[in-house]
Chains A and B, each alone.
Chain A
Amino acid sequence: MKAYDIVKKARDIQRLSTIEIINALCSDFMELHGDRRMTDDQAVVGGVGLIEDQDPITIIGIQKGRNTEENIRRNFGSSGPAGYRKAERLMKQAEKFQRPVLTLINTAGADAAPDSEEYGIGEAIASMLITMSELTVPTLAIILGEGGSGGAIALALSDQVWMLENSIYSILSPEGFASILWKDSSLAAEAADIMKLTATELKELTVIDRVIAEGEKGKTFSNEELAERLIPEIKTAFEELEKQDSKDRVANRYERFRKF
């Protein structure tokens, strides 16, 4: 498959989403709202859940809308500073109550708008990176669709980073890349070919740890099937991470990103 075909799949708004994974993973979940500064950014969904009625987990994800109305409410999955500040608040709580943190990423990038600039989108992402680098609880990030730029890594400074087979993770969109390098955004497909943004390429570069198959024997899984396969993997990963001493986990994570 050409890289740009994967880009198109990654952008499909019917793909497996944060909310579907939350519902499949948690027996009970409560969404928590607000950045305690100015608003509640609904591009980011976050809260606390229980796995099998007993193990608490913090889950934070970016949610794209499935239709126009929902997309407007969720700002097409592009969070502004308030979304990252909400995420940061929930991560600090997870640390306080020693809950693991699962982040789910599907964003073309952080919100590019005057308001977001004025309220410090850069600072909000920067602060998230510091917070994530200081967490001592187990952390796992999964890129579900688009992993666009700073808006994605803000939620992906984790012990492990996984990608769904047809998701992408890049410094910016192929359109943006083409327009900066070749001053022509219509060359996005060519850009995608050389950007190394697919899961397989990124696994080779050890930017990510695992690629999650989205189908087998030529058949693509439905969202329900994919979630069903993903859930036990997530549980096992957290069990493995919890076995490590928190100091080792933090040191490993430091090395994980140090090597680049």
Chain B
Amino acid sequence: MALFRKKKKYVEINPRRADELRERRAQIPDGLAERCPKCQAIIFQNSIESDYLCPKCNYHLQFPALKRIEWLVDEGSFREWDSNLTARDPLNFPGYQEKLDRSQSSTELKEAVVTGQAEIEHLPFALGVMDSRFVMASMGTVVGEKLTRLFEQATEKKLPVVLYIASGGARMQEGILSLMQMAKISQAISKHSQAGLFYCTVLTHPTTGGVTASFAMQGDITLAEPEATIGFAGKRVIEQTIGSDLPEDFQTAESVLKNGFIDHIVPRKKQTQVLRFLLTAHRTPAESAGV
């Protein structure tokens, strides 16, 4: 019966070591490093260049809105619009205000979109940039309001609009009021278009849900960043509905281009140049006449 009596030997560790590790980890500041979602490499914050590409595989990392604006437009040309509009909790949804507070303090933004006016090589345009760090840049009433005002003011000022889109879709905590934003924004975009003005979207990771089904697909020209997820219903939802797996490239910018819904995939390194070209090629008659 030696077999049962024989005691298995385990590696012994200092019981205090686990606590020590926990303590040491607590001393590492948050957000110092992150993993590249594509190549899994650990990226230290201070190794990220101003274009937020993975230094190892060039994956287009999540780009904080204010950083993106600083990187994209002529230095000092950005003037923010409606900077006083702050996310709110219109339906008194349990836990929502706390979630907003947390997002506001971690991102230093008041809502998931920053809007304003800027220039690229002295070509003026209205600019909106969504930030997926803020409640997945979902479309709440204030996101909708800021975007609607962006188009209304652009129409008034006869400016083209460039919109960097990222969104998880509707903001569940604002329910039906979130859905109404799709209608509200679409109306403003239509008026802007009827005035003969140019609207260019840049779809970034992820562009989904009600945002895809409204202002993401209403541009005159639709650009996308490489490998961005672009779709309506989530991949998991569809897999559960049809009961089978979906292909690897499902809802990637590359496959959506092939399906005919995107004009061009433009890597970050080329975006300023491409937008300069498009703003030049889409001068409105009033602008080119010097009005």
CA distance A34 to B261 in the complex (A): 6
A40, A49, A86, A93 — most chain B CB neighbours (10 Å): A40
A228 to B284, CA, bound (A): 30
- Tell me the bound Cα distance from A161 to B284 in angstroms: 28
Contact B262–A34 (Cβ < 8 Å)? yes
Label chain A's interface by main secondary structure: loop
How many Å lie between the Cα of A40 and that of B264 in the bound state? 11
Measured between alpha carbons, how far is A210 from B261 in the docked complex, in Å?
37
A39 at the interface (CB under 8 A from B): yes
Q: Name the distance in Å between B191's Cβ and chain A's nearest Cβ.
A: 14
Given contacts A28-B277, A48-B282, A97-B198, 11 further A-B contacts (CB under 8 A): A30-B278, A30-B281, A32-B263, A33-B263, A36-B217, A37-B260, A56-B283, A96-B220, A97-B196, A97-B220, A98-B285
The answer to whether residues A34 and B221 also contact, given A48-B281, A56-B281, A96-B196 and a CB cut-off of 8 A, is: no
Enumerate B264-291 residues with CB–CB distance to A below 8 Å. 264, 274, 277-278, 280-285
Smallest Cβ distance from B277 to chain A, in angstroms? 6
Partner of B259, one of A28, A34, A49, A96: A34
Closest to B193 in A: A96
Q: Does B257 touch A at the CB level, under 8 Å?
A: yes
How would residues 5 to 42 of chain B score, 1 for a CB under 8 Å from any chain A CB and 0 otherwise?
A: 00000000000000000000000000000000000000
Q: Which residues of B contact A35 (CB under 8 A)?
A: 260
- Assess whether B281 is in contact with A50, with CB atoms less than 8 Å apart: yes
Chain A residues in the interface with B (C-beta under 8 A): 28, 30-40, 48-50, 54, 56, 82, 86, 93, 96-99
Provided the pairs A31-B264, A97-B196 are in contact, do residues A50 and B280 lie with their beta carbons within 8 angstroms? yes
Chain A residues lying within 8 Å of B258, measured Cβ to Cβ, are 39-40
Asked if A56 and B263 make an inter-chain contact with CB atoms under 8 angstroms apart, the answer reads no
Q: How far does the Cβ of A34 sit from chain B's closest Cβ, in whole Å?
A: 4
Instruction: Give every chain A residue within 8 A of B196 (Cβ-Cβ).
Output: 96-98
A38 touches B274 (CB 8 A): no
Chain A residue at smallest Cβ distance from B257? A33
- In the assembled complex, the Cα of A96 lies from the Cα of B282 at a distance in Å of 10
Give the bracket for the number of chain B residues in contact with chain A: 20 to 34
**B162 to A: closest C-beta gap in Å:** 15
Q: Once the chains are docked, how many angstroms separate the CA of A34 from the CA of B265? A: 12
* Contact residues in A for B262 (Cβ distance below 8 Å): 33-34
Q: List 21 A-B contacts (CB under 8 A).
A: A30-B264, A30-B278, A30-B281, A33-B262, A34-B257, A34-B262, A35-B260, A38-B259, A38-B260, A39-B259, A40-B259, A40-B260, A48-B281, A56-B280, A56-B281, A56-B283, A97-B198, A97-B281, A97-B282, A98-B285, A99-B281
Q: How far is the CA of A38 from the CA of B257 in the complex (A)?
A: 10
* A187 vs B217: C-alpha distance when bound (angstroms): 51
Q: How far is the CB of B232 from chain A (nearest CB, A)?
A: 14
Task: Please state if A86 and B260 are interface contacts (CB–CB under 8 Å).
Answer: yes
B282 in contact with A34 (CB, 8 Å): no
Q: Indicate if the CB atoms of B260 and A30 lie closer than 8 Å.
A: no
Give chain B residues whose Cβ lies under 8 Å from the Cβ of A97: 196, 198, 220, 281-282, 284
Nearest A residue (CB) for B277: A28
| CB-based contact A34/B263 at 8 Å | yes
Distance of A49 from chain B, by nearest CB (Å): 8
* Contact residue among B264, B274, B277, B284 (Cβ-Cβ distance under 8 Å from A33): B264
Considering only CB atoms, which chain B residue lies closest to A99 in the complex? B281
Cβ contacts B90-132/A at 8 Å (1 or 0 each):
0000000000000000000000000000000000000000000
Within 8 A of A (CB), among B221-262: 221, 257-262
B264 close to A39 (CB less than 8 A): no
Given contacts A28-B277, A50-B277, A97-B284, contact A33 B260 (CB under 8 A): yes
Q: Please report the C-alpha to C-alpha distance between residue A249 and residue B282 in the assembled complex, in whole angstroms.
A: 23
- Set of chain A residues within 8 Å of B274, measured between Cβ atoms: 30
A138 CB, min distance to chain B CBs, angstroms:
14
The answer to whether B281 and A36 have CB atoms under 8 Å apart is no
Expressed in whole angstroms, the minimum distance between the Cβ of A135 and any Cβ of chain B is 15
> Within 8 Å CB of A34, what residues of B?
257, 259-263
CB distance from B135 to the nearest CB of A (A): 30
- Residues of B181-221 whose CB lies within 8 A of A: 193, 196, 198, 217, 220-221
Residues of chain B within 8 A (CB-CB) of A86 are 260
A93 contact from B220, B264, B277, Cβ within 8 A: B220
